[in-house]
Each structure stands twice: as C-alpha cells, then as structure tokens.
Amino acid sequence: MSKKKLTLPVQIVIALIAGVVVGLICYFAGVPEFTTNYLKPFGTIFVNLLKFIVVPVVLLSMIEGIVSMGDMKKVGSIGWKTVAFFMCTTAIACVIGLVLGNIFNGAGLFPQLQLAEGATWEGATSSNFMDTLVGMFPSNMWDAFVKANMLQVIVIALFLGGSILAAGEKANLCKDFVSSAYAVIEKLMNFIISLSPIGVFTMMAWVVATQGVNILGSLALVLLCAYIAYAIHAVCVYSFAAKAFAGVSPLKFFKGAFAAMIFAFTSTSSAATLPVSKDCAKNLGADEEISAFVLPLGATINMDGTAIYQCVATIFLATCCGMSLTLGQMITVVVTATLASIGTAGVSGAGMIMLAMVLQAMGIPVDMIMIIYGVDRLFDMGRTCLNVTGDISGALCVSAWEAKKAAKK
C-alpha cells in the first residue's frame, strides 16, 4: 500500500502548531535565546531564498500574463473592458484594505514588536507622490533588478510585455524564451515554497519565544480585519456592480455565485474553480462566449483578495516593527499591489511572494513575513473566494456592456 503524503497546507499547519509549542516552552522556560541562536537562522535562510526569487517571479510572470492576452486587437473591446474592470476593483480593494488596516491599527489592535537586539525598524522616509511617480521609471534596468526596486521591475515588465505584443510574429523567439524561463522559475519557486514548513516552524518558534502569547491574539485580529475587508468588498463593490450594470440583485448574485464561492474557499484555487464559475455565471445570465474569455483572464489578473491581504498585512507588519506608513507610502502600496495583480495568478504561494515584493517596496524587513505566513492558509481561503466572486461579477458586467453595445448597433 502506498503511503499518502501530507499536503503542503497540512505540513504548514503542523509546523505552525509545533513552532508555537516550542516557542511557548522556550518563553516560559526563560531560554528564548535558544530559538534565536539555533532555529531562527534556518528561517533566515528561507527568507533569503524568498528575496532571491521575488524579482524573477514578478518580472517573468507579469510578462507572461501580458503576452498570454494575445493580440488585443483580436479580443477588442471585451479585453479592454475586462482589464479595466479588474484593475479598478483591485485599486478599490487596496483602499478598503488600507482603511480597515488603519482603523484596526488606530484602535491599538496591532502590536509593536521588538526586533533582534531590542531595536525597532527605522523605515525610510516617505517621498511625495510626484517623487514616487518619477521613481517608478528606471534609468538602468539592471540596477532595478539588483536593488529589487519592485515598482521599477513592474514598469519594466509592462513595457517589455507590451513591446512583445506590439512586435507580433517577430517576437515569437522572445515569447518562447519568456514562457520557457518562467516555467523554470516556477519550478524553482515551487521548490522554495515546499521548504516553507521549515521556515514557518523556526520563525514562529522564535517569534513566540521572544514575544510571548500576545502575538497569537494579534494574528487573530489581523485575520478578522482581512475578512471584514473581504466581506465589504464583495457586498459594496461586486454585488453593487452586478446590480448597477447587469441588473442582478445582490441576493440573486450571491445565491447564484454561492457554489463557486464555496468551492474556491475550500480549494483555494481560482483555476480549479473555473468550471463551477462558468456554470454559475451562465445561470446568472452572463454570455457564455464572454464568460469563456473573462473568467480565465480573471483567474490570471483579478487578485482583489490578494490586494486586500497585502495591504492589511503590510500595515500590521509595519506596525510590528515600529514603522508608521505615511500617505505617500500607502499610495505606493496601492500602485504596487494593483499593478502586481497582473502577475499573481497560477503561482503556488503567490500571495506570499507578492507580499514580500510589497514589503521590499516599503522598506520593511522581509523577515517579518514569517510572523504572518504561518496562518497564510486561512487568509488564502478568503481571498480566493473573493477573487472568484469578482470573476463572476466581471463576466456579468462585461456581458451587459457588450449587449448594450450590440443593441445600439
């Protein structure tokens, strides 16, 4: 009889529990330095691997996502409307995440931790919006890669992806290279992600041993903050859009999308939910041909749940290390998370990779990500459910817009 191997989420949960237990033992035994000296270094190695993979993953996945759209002249107005809908809802999701995160933070529900050697993180001072805008455009492509300037990496990916599309058949070699290179990087990233139980165990043990039981309650509050933001976005943005543009009432919308929402919540995979999503969209009145285009594209570029997660987690982790985000930095978070949504789909562990990217853009130590990654699966269930709900809402809206356009003709 073949032995069943534990899935990665189960391994992470076991590692999380074991890390908490070991951390509590060291905390109450008065020997937190054991975790600092002998466990945390392995977590640091894992974080270094994450830093190493972030730039190639963001660059290649975004170019691949843009190129996979094909000739935008062929997809015509459907493609542009779909992309515009998803980008707008992602920007709104970022704002909702930032507002909820700041409300929780202002209420004193997010803690300030002491980092190694009792020092707090001194974040870089925020620049104004125009400086941020100018800083998005690189003068040296390789310098952006070396310094991991994620806004510049995103802009480079947008320019290269758009240029490959514009070049047509002459760019087939570039298309093949990007596709091949991304496949290699994806395999490498899957290997790094497979090491996450080690990183979760060692970093969680260190955090609990040095911070005590208070951090556990703080993680529960971060989860609550994210799920409130998920619910607000689903009701106020998706159901409102379905009602305003497609004439589908909120009750009918959620009732019709419920099967896909539950499947996405349990599977945490937008791609695996596609057959259920198509059936739900059809029953709600979306055009089948339009749904066949919008839903797979949505599974690629619609990452509103991930955007909310990134914003809430960024505020939490910034507060943990004694850093207050200014308005200019929050605008940078919105821009970064919105643009990054193009390249987050189809990648196992994408939420964590994208969060590492946002933290780097904010000047927050990427090591802090391991505080929250232990409960990432719980975040993932909600954010995938929200993403799929948005895909169905997008299919309904685009179908309605195209129907009105055809009626006018």
Q: How confident is the model at residue 4 (pLDDT cuts 50, 70, 90)?
A: low
- Mean pLDDT calculated for residue range 62-88: 72
Look at 198 and 126; give whichever has higher pLDDT: 198
Q: Does residue 191 register a pLDDT over 70?
A: yes
Of the candidates 357, 287, 311, 317, the one whose C-alpha atom is nearest the C-alpha of residue 61 is: 357
* Spatial distance between the Cα atoms of 267 and 263, rounded to a whole number of angstroms: 6
Least confident of 113-122, 141-150, 153-162, 223-232: 113-122
Q: 75-79, 117-121, 214-218: which has the highest mean pLDDT?
A: 214-218
pLDDT, tens digit (0-9, with 9 covering 90-100), for 236-253: 999 999 999 999 999 999
- Which pLDDT belongs to residue 50? 76
Look at 379 and 227; give whichever has higher pLDDT: 227
- Mean pLDDT calculated for residue range 391-409: 88
- Which pLDDT belongs to residue 132? 60
pLDDT, tens digit (0-9, with 9 covering 90-100), for 128-173: 556 667 777 889 999 988 877 766 887 888 788 888 888 888 989 9
**Residues in contact with 152: Cβ distance below 8 Å, sequence separation at least 6, in sequence order:** 135, 136, 137, 138, 144
How far lies 287's CA from each of 156, 237, 296, 395, in Å?
35, 21, 14, 8
Q: Three-state SS for 147?
A: coil
Residue ranges per structural domain of the chain: 8-408
Q: 8-408: which CATH architecture?
A: Orthogonal Bundle (1.10)
pLDDT, tens digit (0-9, with 9 covering 90-100), for 272-319: 787 888 889 989 998 887 887 788 777 767 888 888 988 888 888 888
Residue at token pair 């269930």 = 381
Residue pair 384/270 in contact by the 8 Å Cβ criterion: yes
Of the candidates 266, 287, 210, 190, the one whose C-alpha atom is nearest the C-alpha of residue 22 is: 210
pLDDT, tens digit (0-9, with 9 covering 90-100), for 367-397: 777 778 767 777 888 888 999 999 999 999 9
Q: Does residue 63 register a pLDDT over 90?
A: no
* Burial category of 277 from C-beta neighbours within 10 Å (exposed 0-12, middle 13-18, buried 19 and up): buried
Q: How confident is the model at residue 235 (pLDDT cuts 50, 70, 90)?
A: very high
Rounded mean pLDDT of the chain? 80
Q: How confident is the model at residue 100 (pLDDT cuts 50, 70, 90)?
A: very high
Which letter, b or e, does each residue of 9-40 get, where b requires 16 or more Cβ atoms within 10 Å of its Cβ? bebbbebbeebbebbbebbeeeebebbbeebb
Q: How confident is the model at residue 122 (pLDDT cuts 50, 70, 90)?
A: very low
- Which pLDDT belongs to residue 346? 44
Q: How confident is the model at residue 77 (pLDDT cuts 50, 70, 90)?
A: low
Q: Does residue 117 register a pLDDT over 50?
A: no
Q: Does residue 24 register a pLDDT over 80?
A: yes
